[in-house]
């Protein structure tokens, strides 16, 4: 899988997680029932968790960093797919 594809996937995941955090934060409001309706109002301990927003922001930043990264040299000696020096030199001489 290419680096840019992974970066776009992380950007998409980050946007989805930030959207989920927004829905969790703005979604459910505590509605107090009218005084004589007989309903009991239950107050939750904590409203939301910030984890989707934190992971969303981290994946968005990571995805942007991967997409903005410059492509590496095509002739990378560490990948084992390099052209031998003799053939590489002959190809440059023919191109000149």
Nearest to 4 by CA among 76, 73, 75, 63: 63
Q: What value does the mean pLDDT of the chain take? A: 76
Looking at residue 36, what DSSP letter applies? T
Could you read off the pLDDT of 21-61 as tens digits, one per residue?
Answer: 998 888 766 666 667 777 776 666 666 788 999 999 999 99
**Is the pTM above the cut of 0.85?**
no
Is 42 in contact with 28 (CB distance < 8 Å)? no
If one counts every other C-beta atom within 10 angstroms of the C-beta of residue 14, the result is 21
Cα 93 to Cα 96: distance, rounded to the nearest angstrom: 5
């Amino acid at each position: 899988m290419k680096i840019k594809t992974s970066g776009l996937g992380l950007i998409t995941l980050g946007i989805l997680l930030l959207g989920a955090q927004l829905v969790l934060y703005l979604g459910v409001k505590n509605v107090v029932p009218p005084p004589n309706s007989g309903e009991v109002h239950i107050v939750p301990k904590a409203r939301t968790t910030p984890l989707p927003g934190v992971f969303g922001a981290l994946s968005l930043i990571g995805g942007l960093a991967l997409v903005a990264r410059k492509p590496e040299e095509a002739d990378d000696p560490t990948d084992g797919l390099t052209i031998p020096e003799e053939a590489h030199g002959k190809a440059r001489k023919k191109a000149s």
